[in-house]
Amino acid sequence: MLKVDNIYVNYGNFEALSGVSLEIKEGEIVALLGSNGAGKTTTINTISGNSKLMSGDIVWKGRSIKNMPMYNRVSLGIVQVPEGRKLFPYMSIQENLFIGSYLKQARKQRNRTLEMCYELFPKLAERKHQLAGSLSGGEQQMCAIARGLMQQPELLMLDEPSLGLAPVVVDQIFSALKKINEMGTTILLVEQNVMLSLEIATQAYVIELGKNVMQGNCEELINNPDLKKAYLGL
């Protein structure tokens, strides 16, 4: 479905990515792991078109999209849920979700998709007229994920969905991600919660200082001593 091939990204004189590569097959959950500053957010920002690619290629279903504007990538089905939720705080939950379905094809299916989101996150249905800015952190994250789903993505990219949330809420979020994947949406998950990510993903890539350092099947990586030492303190 998606191939990121040896991409380089600079912020001024700072080289944020130095040849990152990854592949995502349709139907997978792929985890992109690494410490703060490793280049995880830059990687998905570059895939979505939010960061400028210096060299390398991004190939979607056999077609290079490296020069394609961000809004056209969304039309292809590539949707990003940003770190920090980025909701419209003075709009209701339902208004935020409607904004997520602004493209013509998504608008046609808006009511059906909205019902699916409310089934996935019942708390949003209960409070659909409540201002998004008044929600708890976990509820805001649910709203952000639902807003991404309203666009009916083929690839849903999530940036640190567990950040700042209580463990019980994190479990709810990850359970929802598994259900989303089972419904047919491919997921690229950027996370610092290594163990939870490896438990739900099929493949994982680890990057450090903008470079690939490890990749493979999640079952194998869970037992990798280098990964345990670097990220789990074992």
| pLDDT by residue, tens only, the chain of 234 residues | 999 999 999 998 899 999 999 999 999 999 999 888 889 999 999 999 999 999 999 999 999 999 999 989 999 999 999 887 789 999 999 999 999 888 888 888 899 999 999 999 999 999 999 999 999 999 999 999 999 999 999 999 999 999 888 999 999 999 999 999 999 999 999 988 888 899 999 999 999 999 999 899 988 888 888 777 766 544
Taking alpha carbons only, the member of 134, 182, 140 closest to residue 162 is 140
Tokens of 176: 């929802």
Give the pLDDT score at 66.
94
Strand order in the sheet with 14-24: 14-24, 2-11, 55-60, 63-64
Q: Are 206 and 212 in contact (CB under 8 A)?
A: yes
Crossing angle of helices 137-149 and 110-120, rounded to 10°:
150
CA angle 96, 100, 111 (to 5 degrees): 90
Give the pLDDT score at 234.
40
Tokens of 209: 């200082």
Burial per residue of 46-74, b for 16 or more beta-carbon CB atoms within 10 angstroms, e otherwise: bbbbebebeebebebeeeebbebeeeebb
Cβ within 8 Å of residue 47, ≥6 positions away? 2, 4, 58, 73, 78, 80, 157, 188
Domain annotation for the chain: domains and CATH numbers: 2-77+153-232 (3.40.50.300), 86-152 (no CATH)
Give the pLDDT score at 231.
64
The dihedral region occupied by 83, where left means phi > 0, alpha psi between -120 and 50, and beta the remainder, is beta
Give the pLDDT score at 104.
81
Q: Reduced to 3 states, what is the DSSP secondary structure of residue 165?
A: coil
Q: Are 191 and 160 in contact (CB under 8 A)?
A: yes
Beta-bridged to residue 80, according to DSSP, are 157
Torsion angle, alpha carbons of 220, 225, 228, 229, to 10? -160
Q: Are 39 and 17 in contact (CB under 8 A)?
A: yes
